[in-house]
Structure 1
Amino acid sequence: MNNEVAINQELQDKANNILKSVNINQIGALAVGQLRTVIDARINKQQNQGLDLPANYSVSNALTQALLRLQSVKTKGKTPVLQACTPNSIIQSLMDMVVQGLSPAKDQCYFIAYGNELQLRRSYFGTTAALLRLENITDVDAQAIYEGDQVNTSIDRHGHLVLDTENTHLDWTNQDNELIGAYAIITTADGVDHLTIMTKKQIKVSWNQSKTHDVQNKFGSEMAKRTVLNRAAKMFINTSDDSDLLTGAINDTTSNEYDERRDVTPVEDEKQSTDELLEGFQKSQEAKAKGVSNNGNNNEGKEESSEEIANGQTELFSKGTIKPADEADS
């Protein structure tokens, strides 16, 4: 779908006047209303230049939800992130969200304050949604592999690694066993399934490069799925004919978790901050278990919500600097 729109000159002028009057790298330089004006203007300009967004994606609703959530997110020091982070990083995070077509209301993304920078993170579902925006990708799936599961692969006539579905068996009763790996399958428009598989050791190497690897190590299955999915997606993202804005936003959001080159000051006590994240996740797991005990099987409309809670995406970061969602890779 082509979402090209006309330039709203009045909006552009208003945003330019705001930016001329402040330093957007100065913490707290813009109020929420001013942030919204600047972001709306940038989106308007990019849509005029051909930015395509999903047909059912409401930019206005997504931004409203994001700004509402940001007003309640605080740093470890209890400072609201809108007052602790630079307007420039806030604007960039929200722009990355919009370009990828993500919505915090669907727990597809969340925000974390790292020093004085706000960063966007995708959940597993957000990563899936973002990849499906790429024209050549028609389906995405990832599975965790537990001890006792049987996963077999073979090489097709083109030399590609493929899943031997007849001899692969994932038993749901093994989910209490040790995680030993994960695989992702990305299906392209030509009907070809592209398999990426990672061992537990490979996954942990990736996690150890992450800023929140303690959370990943403790709650691994869904994190592992996103880890292998992000690895699988790299080739498609970086060889895609899609908009540089889209592929750039996907890459930037992924690298936020691993890029240590940024000149930022970490939160004053990262160990304690991580402990708070783990505590928040544990509470979500307990709440989910209690809900299952009280209600039995949920109806289909609630199924996804329950799964997201189980994945640590709804309450994972109810404390500390991170707002709801999932975790994972490079």
Structure 2
Amino acid sequence: MSNPNQVAIIQKDITDDVNKSLTRLQEDGLVLPPNYNASNALKSAFFKLQEVKDRNSKPALEVCTKASVANALLDMVTQGLSPAKTQCYFIVYGDQLQLNRSYFGTQAVLKRLTNVKDIWANVIFEGDVFDYEIDGGREKLLKHETNFLNRDKEILGAYAVVKTEDDEEILTVMTRKEIEASWSQAKTKNVQNKFPQEMAKRTVINRAAKAFINTSDDSDLLVDAINRSTENEYENERKEVNPEYEAQKEIKQNANQEIIDIKKTEPLKKQPEIIDAPKEQQMTKQPQNEEIHQEDLFETTPNGPTW
């Protein structure tokens, strides 16, 4: 956005309303991480947003509705995520801004659940020795032996381990075919092809997380935000294969999603946006394969991309 004053006005406007909505959520039972500073996270997010562009190289703050920007930021702070720590990133789809979690972000969010002590994932390479069993109806890791040189070989699969507060280790295993099937439905295909190892870990962690997220005793507000960020990757494809998807999504959103009431100021677009309309009414049909800029997803270090 070329006008710094307009950016400042939009930033203050949206930040104020996100903070008000966050206060209401906290009054309803949402608990943020002890060391999480929502204000700093919002400032970091707006700094990143000024670098985010759509597939036509137009700035996100110009093409996205205020409603989608505000709701993406609200989901970010609800989950206790920070762009400065590369825990999340923003992607433009049409006139909608969506929040996606990184591998680090998914780990951080899961550790917030009351019964999760730790979570980690590993990739199984050709040449590795991997063995597991079914014990009491659950998968249990028996052995994973690998070699440094195997990291340059073909990926055979990946697994995640969730360690509960009772020190129980729950295993989730995915073959390469299962991982690629998941990738085929996602909107970040080119990223998965460039960074298959880390994206394989992220995919298996997302699968492992489902049972814990939806059966936890944690705030529904947190669970809703986690699920929305996960579903963002697959939303467009679900529309294509399920004609009833929009109706189902509207019912769910009207029942659960916090609606941010943003004061009317100079709009991001020429036409005023309706902030409290359901998100799907503001969306336009998008091509299935969106261009994603690598710089919006990862921080580059001398040792490579940071997840």
Q: Give TM class, smaller chain.
A: 0.7 to 0.9
Alignment of 1:121-270 (within 5 A): 121-156=100-135, 158-165=136-143, 168-260=144-236, 261=239, 264-265=283-284, 270=289
Query: In the alignment, is the contact (CA less than 8 A) between 1:204 and 1:217 conserved in 2?
Result: no
For 2:12, the equivalent position in structure 1 comes to 33
Counterpart of 1:217 in 2: which secondary structure? Answer: helix
SS in 2 for 1:79: coil
Match of 2:272 in 1: none
Give the AA of the match of 2:107: T
Deviation, structure 1 residue 252: 0.4
Cα shift at 1:216: 0.8
Indicate conservation of the 8 Å contact 2:119/2:162, yes or no: yes
TM-score for both structures, normalised by structure 2:
0.78
Residues 192, 70 of structure 1: alpha-carbon distance in 2 compared, 3 angstrom cutoff: same
What residue is the counterpart of 1:51 in the other structure?
30
Q: How many residues of Structure 1 are paired with residues of Structure 2 in the alignment? A: 256
How far the C-alpha of 1:68 sits from its partner, in A, is: 1.5
CA deviation after TM superposition for structure 1 residue 254, in Å: 0.3
Runs (5+) with no aligned partner, structure 1: 1-27, 292-305, 314-325
Greater displacement, 210-219 / 55-64: 210-219
| Residues 114, 266 of structure 1: 8 Å contact kept | no
User: Contact (CA 8 Å) 1:207, 1:217: kept in 2 or not?
Assistant: no
1:151 partner SS: strand
Question: Residue 94 in 1 paired to residue 73 in 2?
Answer: yes
Q: Which runs of 4+ in 1 moved over 6 A?
A: none
Percent of pairs with identical residues: 46
Q: Structure 2: how far apart are the matches of 1:79 and 1:159? A: 51
Whether the 8 Å CA contact 1:76–1:267 is kept in 2: the answer is no
The answer as to whether partners of 2:29 and 2:219 remain within 8 angstroms in 1 is no
| Per-residue Cα deviation, 1:83-115 (whole angstroms, up to 9, x for no partner) | 211111111111111111110000000100111
1-structure distance, mates of 2:12, 2:56: 24
CA distance in 2, matches of 1:268, 1:131: 32
**How does the TM-score come out when normalised to structure 1?**
0.72
Bigger relative contact order (CA 8 A; separation at least 6): 2
Provide the C-alpha distance between the structure 2 equivalents of 1:255 and 1:48, rounded to a whole number of angstroms: 26
